[in-house]
Amino acid sequence: MPDTPDMPDTIPLRAWWAGWAPAAGAAVMATGILSIGLHLTDHEALSVIALVLASPAWVGLATDFLTRLVGDRKQWTRRAGTPAGLDAVAATTVLGTRFSALGWRGLAEVLLALSAVLWPVLLLAVLRHWRRRMAGDVFLVCVATQGLSVLGSAIATEAGSDWLAHAAMTLYWVGIALYVVSFANFDLREVRRGAGDHWVAAGALGISALAGAGLVAARDVDPYLWNNDDQGVLRATTGALLVLALASYVLLAVAELVWPRPRYDVRRWSSVFPMGMTAVATLAVADALDVFRLRGPGQVLLWIAVAAWLAAVVGTVLAFRSAVRRPAR
């Protein structure tokens, strides 16, 4: 067979995929949360477009997950022992929450069941490999847990399920406890040198505030879920979490200016998700706590997240093109 020197080399492409595949969960989470935010601000067409983009990305994530589980159990086990393994749970819950908002309760329930099965398995695997001074993805233990709470409360509100609402409440407090433990093991030097996943520290606070807003709204629909004292504590905690999320957002944004990191890194997808999550949490808390002045800042944060999403897309496309065009060695 004659030589074909102009044929693109597949090895760099495979190497690119191997490097990008772990970020697929963050990309689904980022795109899915933007879809939710655009829905909350009545930009339905853009919201649906984001959902259409997130759905096949989730299928790719699920395929990669199953391929590793069936074909390379050793590699799957090694990845499952890292916090990044929980992005499959978090991405599934974010997508399920958007489907629930569309009224597709059956599909949302399937995604909730899938997440609920995976969550304890992956969480225990991560906790067994816990260590000091971890990167920003350590906060995914909180994100995945609160993602289950958000999706559970959304379905419980729609279906009128008391037991599911109480389960979501339990997960909410567990998620807050996991955030405290994660922060104790987070390497604060990542704020200066992190490649993008250090932003998950803010995103975990944001999704915790979003979970609290969902539970407040659930009790407003069904006043018999829990008493007034519990509702008061929930409202106060949710407001405090949003304040912490916004403060973390500002701190990390200032750190980006003081220690700029202009080069593209695949972990930047883990920055886009917290930006979008902070925006969505602000909008949701504004509605749940009747603080409508927060809607303006929430919308500003949402469009900043959209801009960051576009920048991440451009960086990913350029990295893909570079991998395909790289000459054979």
Three-state secondary structure call for residue 188 = coil
pLDDT of residue 3: 46
Give CA–CA dist 215/223, Å, rounded.
11
Residue 3 domain flag: no
What confidence tens digit (pLDDT) does each residue in 197-237 have? 899 999 999 999 999 999 999 988 888 888 889 899 999 99
Residue 4 domain flag: no
Number of domains making up the chain: 1
pLDDT of residue 112: 96
What is the torsional sign of CA 125, 61, 205, 198?
Answer: positive
126: domain CATH number is 1.50.10.150
pLDDT of residue 2: 44
pLDDT of residue 19: 59
pLDDT of residue 328: 46
Three-state secondary structure call for residue 5 = coil
Residue 2 domain flag: no
Residue 1 domain flag: no
Residue 90 domain flag: yes
Residues 6+ apart with CB under 8 A from 60: 24
Q: pLDDT > 70: what percent of the chain?
A: 89
At residue 126 the predicted structure's pLDDT band, cuts being 50, 70 and 90, is confident
> What is the C-alpha end-to-end distance of the chain, expressed in Å?
19
Range of the domain at 316: 10-324
Residue 19 domain flag: yes
Question: At 13, which helix (H) or strand (E)?
Answer: helix 10-20
Name the least confident of 51-55, 63-67, 319-323.
Answer: 319-323
Give CA–CA dist 89/294, Å, rounded.
29
Residue 5 domain flag: no
What confidence tens digit (pLDDT) does each residue in 296-327 have? 999 999 999 999 999 999 988 887 777 666 65
Cα 261 to Cα 172, 193, 246, 268: the distances in Å are 34, 8, 21, 10
